[in-house]
């Protein structure tokens, strides 16, 4: 799943909230864990038995005594009961009542992400993002300061964001009328009568341009932008959602109005609600939120991107002791029928073994633990309305970049050739099944799932049959799905660092 619960953001961060880039946090986190482990080893050296006296073939005594795990019953999962209805305007609504907390989460999504920028202006990259930013910055009734003060006084989370596929307006509020009714009024003001103040727009563009300049100093961002551009070519997914240094200065107030009038309409919307409401209250609230939306027309179907037919290597010079590597290919679109969903589950299981973020994954075991080339390496599929990317990312020393890339490709090819094992599959399926309930352990988690399902028009069985799909995976089908999906010989590989890994002489000299 590509969407996550939305939290209240600062004005500055909202300009960058859908910027895709490799996070260094995971790598630094792993570095910290390693450092702590080394410190613990140093501190306890005198008190421990010498290494030569340790029988490494003996079982770990503590694990051998965990007999209580032998009789653990199979996990029984009760998924939230989803109620479905439509507003008078025909907007589909998914609703889950939860009475444990006096909170309501609302998720209104439009088929209106940055992939639609070009329909407003051929070079209008950043229009959707700027529209989302400015919805939070005042309405015709309340200027920016008054609007912000009203949000903070109520203590609500009210935000909007534009991503590749979708445009989301979300609200979290206490469920009593004293808080919820004025919160919904602010939400409808955002949607129906945003001010799009010219002075605020100029300020936003100036701030965003500073951020885009700073982005040039982030190797992860550089790699991600270059990867999308090379992978998607002239497809709408190719450009950054926030826009570029060339396009942001040209964004106009009228373009924001045109985007809102074209895409933030009832025919293009879906609504998810979770919280302390009865069905009758939920229906009334849904009407209150959407009643004044223009009817409009649904967005056109996005074209399918064309996959690369041969490997492509792109190197971006960058003054750093580390090289950032991003490799991958076109992945899948969001599956809506049971057969395609089972196939995506098969791939998810196989990819978790190959490129999951934990230390049992093959790439992590070989490239990090055995070879010591990186603090962390992982890969994932990001299915969207059209085919999303499959990406594997890591950072390594400049002089080890080519070796790390070759080692990663070798692990992938060996996995495709020999397949994963039944033990690896069992460990992964157990993990996926047991962690599944955590996805709806909170109102926000439930509502995020509902919003995603409603946007992609997934049947309720997508959620209710999740565990069944995992239990139905077969080793032969998992391995075949990996082979059918991944084509490492045609991978796009982007590197950002001081030395070009594909220049053998310079790389060896360094």
Torsion angles phi and psi, residue 270, rounded to 5:
-145, 150
On whether the CB atoms of residues 213 and 173 are closer than 8 A, the answer is: no
On whether the CB atoms of residues 281 and 180 are closer than 8 A, the answer is: no
- List the pLDDT tens digit at each of the 510 positions of the chain: 333 333 333 333 333 333 333 333 333 333 333 333 333 333 332 333 333 343 434 444 444 455 555 566 666 777 889 999 999 999 999 999 999 999 999 999 999 999 999 999 998 999 999 999 999 999 999 999 999 999 999 999 999 999 999 999 999 999 999 999 999 999 999 999 999 999 999 999 999 999 999 999 999 999 999 999 999 999 999 999 999 999 999 999 999 999 999 999 999 999 999 999 999 999 999 999 999 999 999 999 999 999 999 999 999 999 999 999 999 999 999 999 999 999 999 999 999 999 998 899 999 999 999 999 999 999 999 999 999 999 999 999 999 999 999 999 999 999 999 999 999 999 999 999 988 888 888 899 999 999 999 999 999 888 889 999 999 999 999 999 999 999 999 999 999 999 999 986 554 554
Burial 187-220 (b: 16+ CB within 10 A, else e): bbbbbeebbbbeebbeebbeebbebbeebeebbb
Q: Which residue is associated with the tokens 């982005």?
A: 215
Q: Which fold has domain 79-290?
A: Cytochrome Bc1 Complex; Chain A, domain 1 (3.30.830)
For residue 271, the SS3 value is strand
Domain locations in the chain as residue ranges: 79-290, 312-449+457-509
On whether the CB atoms of residues 497 and 395 are closer than 8 A, the answer is: no
In order of 28, 159, 323, 446, the CA distances from 219 in angstroms are: 15, 29, 8, 35
Q: Which residue is associated with the tokens 């993990």?
A: 431
- CATH code of the domain made up of 312-449+457-509: 3.30.830.10
Question: Cα–Cα distance between 309 and 492 in angstroms, integer?
Answer: 10
């Amino acid at each position: 799943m590509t969407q996550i619960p939305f939290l209240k953001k600062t004005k500055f961060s909202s300009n960058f909230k859908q910027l895709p880039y490799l996070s260094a946090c995971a790598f630094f986190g792993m570095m910290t864990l390693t450092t702590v482990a080394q410190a613990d080893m140093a501190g306890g050296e005198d008190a421990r038995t010498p290494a030569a006296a340790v029988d490494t073939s003996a079982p770990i005594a503590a694990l051998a005594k965990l007999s209580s795990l032998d009789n653990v019953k199979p996990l029984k999962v009760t998924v939230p009961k989803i109620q479905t209805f439509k507003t008078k305007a025909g907007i589909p609504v998914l609703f889950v009542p939860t009475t444990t907390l006096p909170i309501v989460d609302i998720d209104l999504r439009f088929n209106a992400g940055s992939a639609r920028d070009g329909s407003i202006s051929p070079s209008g990259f950043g229009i959707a993002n700027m529209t989302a930013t400015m919805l939070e910055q005042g309405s015709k009734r309340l200027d920016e300061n008054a609007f912000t003060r009203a949000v903070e006084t109520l203590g609500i989370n009210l935000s909007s964001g534009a991503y590749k596929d979708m445009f989301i307006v979300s609200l979290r509020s206490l469920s009593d009328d004293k808080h919820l009714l004025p919160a919904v009024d602010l939400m409808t003001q955002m949607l129906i009568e945003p001010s799009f103040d010219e002075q605020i727009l100029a300020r936003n563009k100036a701030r965003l341009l500073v951020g885009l300049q700073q982005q040039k100093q982030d190797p992860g961002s550089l790699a991600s932008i270059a990867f999308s551009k090379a992978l998607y070519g002239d497809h709408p997914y190719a450009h950054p959602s926030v826009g570029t240094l060339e396009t942001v200065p040209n964004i106009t107030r009228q373009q924001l109005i045109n985007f809102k009038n074209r895409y933030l309409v009832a025919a293009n919307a879906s609504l998810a609600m979770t919280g302390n409401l009865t069905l009758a209250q939920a229906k009334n609230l849904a009407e209150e939120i959407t009643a004044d939306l223009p009817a409009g027309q649904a967005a056109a179907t996005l074209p399918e991107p064309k996959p690369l037919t041969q490997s492509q290597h792109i190197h971006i010079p960058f003054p750093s002791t580390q090289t950032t590597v991003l490799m991958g290919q076109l992945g899948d679109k969001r599956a809506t029928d049971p057969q395609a969903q089972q196939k995506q589950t098969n791939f998810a299981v196989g990819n978790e073994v190959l490129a999951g973020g934990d230390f049992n994954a093959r790439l992590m075991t070989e490239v990090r633990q055995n070879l010591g080339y990186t603090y962390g390496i992982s890969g994932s599929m990001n299915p969207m309305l059209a085919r999303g990317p499959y990406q594997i990312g890591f950072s390594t020393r400049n002089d080890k970049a080519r070796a790390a890339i070759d080692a990663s490709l070798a692990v992938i090819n060996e996995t495709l050739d020999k397949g994963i094992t039944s033990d690896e599959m069992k460990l992964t399926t157990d993990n996926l099944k047991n962690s599944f309930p955590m996805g709806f352990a909170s109102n926000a988690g439930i509502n995020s799932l509902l919003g995603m399902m409603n946007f992609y028009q997934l049947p309720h069985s997508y959620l209710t049959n999740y565990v069944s799909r995992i239990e139905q995976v077969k080793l032969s089908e998992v391995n075949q799905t990996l082979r059918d999906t991944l084509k490492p010989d045609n991978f796009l590989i982007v590197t950002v660092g001081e030395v070009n890994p594909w220049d053998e002489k310079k790389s060896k000299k360094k």
